[in-house]
Amino acid sequence: MSEENLLKLVQAEEPEENDYHLQEQVGFILRKAHQRHVSIFAAHIADLTPPQFAALAKLRDVGETSQNQLGTLIAMDAATVKGVIDRLKARGLVELSKHEVDKRRLLVNLTAQGRDAIERLIPLARDITEETLAPLSPKEVATFMKLLAKLA
């Protein structure tokens, strides 16, 4: 291949400085993938939001913890996790108590009803993950998850 043809090929592959297509941007593609996942989630688990499910699942894993720590563990700010916990408490799925030493610290824990609910929902959550990732091969899933973890 001549140097001139090689230069034309390279120039054709390089995007122009003002060349911007929304549908090719990472944020747009991630948002569409997230919307698809949330739609699949809602089709399987209609009575909880993904953040509510995340709170219950993490409490199942770690047991009683402070409301702030739970927020950190599930990547939610303090105001958002408070709203999530308030709604779960109103449904009888979690209970709140004061820390024995630091009375300002609010502890959250699953109720028996909450534990039963999350145990029943875990298999559905596995199905949701499987359906979300269904377009990918097992090797692609492993690569995708590894790359997403790098971005998180």
Query: What is the C-alpha separation between 121 and 45, in angstroms, rounded?
Result: 8
Domain ranges in the chain are 46-137
Query: What is the C-alpha separation between 148 and 144, in angstroms, rounded?
Result: 6
Q: What is the pLDDT of residues 10-38, one digit of tens each?
A: 555 666 677 899 999 999 999 999 999 99
Query: What is the C-alpha separation between 109 and 63, in angstroms, rounded?
Result: 6
Query: What is the C-alpha separation between 108 and 65, in angstroms, rounded?
Result: 6
Query: What is the C-alpha separation between 70 and 61, in angstroms, rounded?
Result: 11
CATH class of the structural domain 46-137: mainly alpha
Instruction: State pTM to two decimals.
Output: 0.82
Higher pLDDT, 80 or 8: 80
